[in-house]
Amino acid sequence: MARILALLLFFAGGAVAAEDPSLERRVTDLANELRCLVCQNQTIADSNAPLAVDLRNQIREQLASGRSEREIKDYMVARYGDFVLYRPPLKASTVALWAGPFLLLLLGIWIFYRRVARRRPPEPQLSEGERERAAKLLE
Amino acid sequence: MRIFWVIAVFVALVGLLAVGLRLNPREVPSPLVGKPAPHFELPLLAAPEKTFSQKDMLGAVWILNVWASWCPPCLLEHPVVTALADSGIAPVIGLNYKDARENALPWLRRNGDPYKLSVYDVEGRIGIDYGVYGVPETYVIDRKGVIRYKHIGPLTPDIAQKKLQPLLKELSGRG
């Protein structure tokens, strides 16, 4: 009985989904930016974990009731923390995350520059005898 | 001089990995700690005609334990939850999450029912409000209805003894 009901609900959900492709696109766009906490390296859009399904339904419902993407993201962050966002916000605790790669790049450029600069071949130093030989050869 | 740098970088890297690889990525810090417990008003698992709200616990320190009969780790932590409830340190309220009555009630009969009561969140909506993503989860809520601690995954005797009990004692002792 429960299974039949679930199946019916599933098809009903599908029917609603088919009714409004633009809403469905917004749901997918938003779901693509949110991490599924059950299977942490997938988005809510990709994952078929029950929680991801529930959260997609939440997004659909809230968008349909006129909430904005921003409000829904805040709703998710209030419950699951910044970790749900695939694009973390720039905050004091995430500065290292955002600035780190650029600092490493600068460090790399600096090291590279120093090594290249150092490796420049030294001016050839000739002994007196060699200078004389060279002078003779050049005559 | 150069060998010194190589060793320094190596040691730093080993240090970083030693710490980083030991962190558990499943333990996402909950933004709910320090915030009021989200509102719910749900039917009881054992008595569908009655409802229970987190407001009914205002003035008491209590434990909210999210469980389900389909969740093997819940069975694993069940003795720990039972011991905690039996110690009388704080009442344990169960949040039966995305379960079915016909499975949940026999589960309690089989394994014992340490809960003061369990509420029935069949759609998992309240679970979402509480940021539940890995059943079992356990929350400690203080007299004012503020979440003070959250544990994700099965409780172990160690966590119950070292984290929960001191916190519960502290919260209960504070008048």
pLDDT tens track for B55-79: 999 999 999 999 999 999 999 999 9
Find the CATH number of the domain harbouring B78. 3.40.30.10
A18 and A60 fall within a common domain: yes
In tens, the pLDDT along B98-108 reads 999 999 999 99
Q: Please determine, for residue B20, whether its predicted confidence score (pLDDT) is greater than 80.
A: yes
CA distance A40 to chain B (A): 8
CA distance B86 to chain A (A): 31
Residue A50, pLDDT score: 86
- Strand order of the sheet with strand B117-121? B117-121, B92-97, B62-67, B137-141, B147-152
Tokens matching residue A28 = 């997918």
B175 at interface of A, judged by CB pairs closer than 8 A:
no
- A3 — pLDDT class (breaks 50, 70, 90): low
Give the B window 65-104 contacts with A, CB below 8 Å: 98, 100
CB–CB of B133 and A77 under 8 A? no
B-chain residues near A77 (CB < 8 A): 31
DSSP letter assigned to residue A102: H
Q: Please determine, for residue A34, whether its predicted confidence score (pLDDT) is greater than 70.
A: yes
A62 and A98 fall within a common domain: no
A42 and A85 fall within a common domain: yes
B130 at interface of A, judged by CB pairs closer than 8 A:
yes
Q: Per the omega criterion (within 30 degrees of 0), is the bond before B136 cis?
A: yes
Q: Please determine, for residue B1, whether its predicted confidence score (pLDDT) is greater than 60.
A: yes
Give the residue numbers spanning the domain of A15: 2-89
Report whether A16 contacts A61 (CB < 8 A): no
Residue A49, pLDDT score: 86
C-alpha B116/C-alpha B174 separation (Å) is 23
A47 and A106 fall within a common domain: no
Q: Please determine, for residue B25, whether its predicted confidence score (pLDDT) is greater than 80.
A: no
Residue B174, pLDDT score: 59
∠ CA B99-B89-B65, nearest 5°, is 15
CA distance A92 to chain B (A): 16
A-chain residues near B100 (CB < 8 A): 2
- A129 — pLDDT class (breaks 50, 70, 90): confident
CB–CB of B29 and A51 under 8 A? no
Mean pLDDT is highest, among A85-99, B14-28, B31-45, for B31-45
CA distance A33 to chain B (A): 18
Residue predicted with more confidence, B174 or B33:
B33
A55 and A17 fall within a common domain: yes
Is residue B150 assigned to a domain?
yes
- As a whole-number percent, the residues of chain A with pLDDT over 90 amount to 17
Nearest to A50 by CA among A104, A115, A6, A106: A6
Nearest to B174 by CA among B142, B146, B132: B142
- As a whole-number percent, the residues of chain B with pLDDT over 70 amount to 96
A-chain residues near B135 (CB < 8 A): none
CB–CB of A79 and B128 under 8 A? yes
Report the run of H or E that residue B150 belongs to, with start and end. strand B147-152
B31 at interface of A, judged by CB pairs closer than 8 A:
yes
Report whether A35 contacts A83 (CB < 8 A): yes
A80 and A106 fall within a common domain: no
Is residue B115 assigned to a domain?
yes
Q: Please determine, for residue A14, whether its predicted confidence score (pLDDT) is greater than 80.
A: no
Is residue B69 assigned to a domain?
yes
Is residue B11 assigned to a domain?
no
Beta B51-53 vs B62-67: how paired, if at all? unpaired
Q: Which residues contact B113 (CB under 8 A, 6 or more apart)?
A: none
Find the CATH number of the domain harbouring A35. 1.10.8.640
C-alpha B150/C-alpha B28 separation (Å) is 10
Residue B146 backbone phi and psi in degrees, to 5: -100, 135
Taking all residues of chain B, what is their mean pLDDT, rounded to a whole number?
91
Residue A15, pLDDT score: 47
B124 at interface of A, judged by CB pairs closer than 8 A:
yes
Tokens matching residue B55 = 């407001």
CA-nearest residue to A49 within chain B is: B133
Is residue B12 assigned to a domain?
no
- A130 — pLDDT class (breaks 50, 70, 90): confident
A96 and A80 fall within a common domain: no
DSSP B90-143: S-EEEEEES--HHHHHHHHHHH----SEEEEETT-HHHHHTT--SSSEEEEE-T
- A10 — pLDDT class (breaks 50, 70, 90): low
Residue B74 three-state SS: helix
When divided into structural domains, chain B yields a total of: 1
When divided into structural domains, chain A yields a total of: 2
A51 and A101 fall within a common domain: no
Of the ranges A55-64, A84-93, B6-15, B128-137, which one carries the lowest mean pLDDT score? A84-93
C-alpha A10/C-alpha A100 separation (Å) is 45
Residue B113, pLDDT score: 95
Is residue A29 assigned to a domain?
yes
Per-residue CA distances from A65 to A23, A34, A58 (Å): 11, 20, 11
A8 and A50 fall within a common domain: yes
- Mean pLDDT of all residues in B42-67: 94
B-chain residues near A38 (CB < 8 A): 133-134
A-chain residues near B29 (CB < 8 A): 81, 83
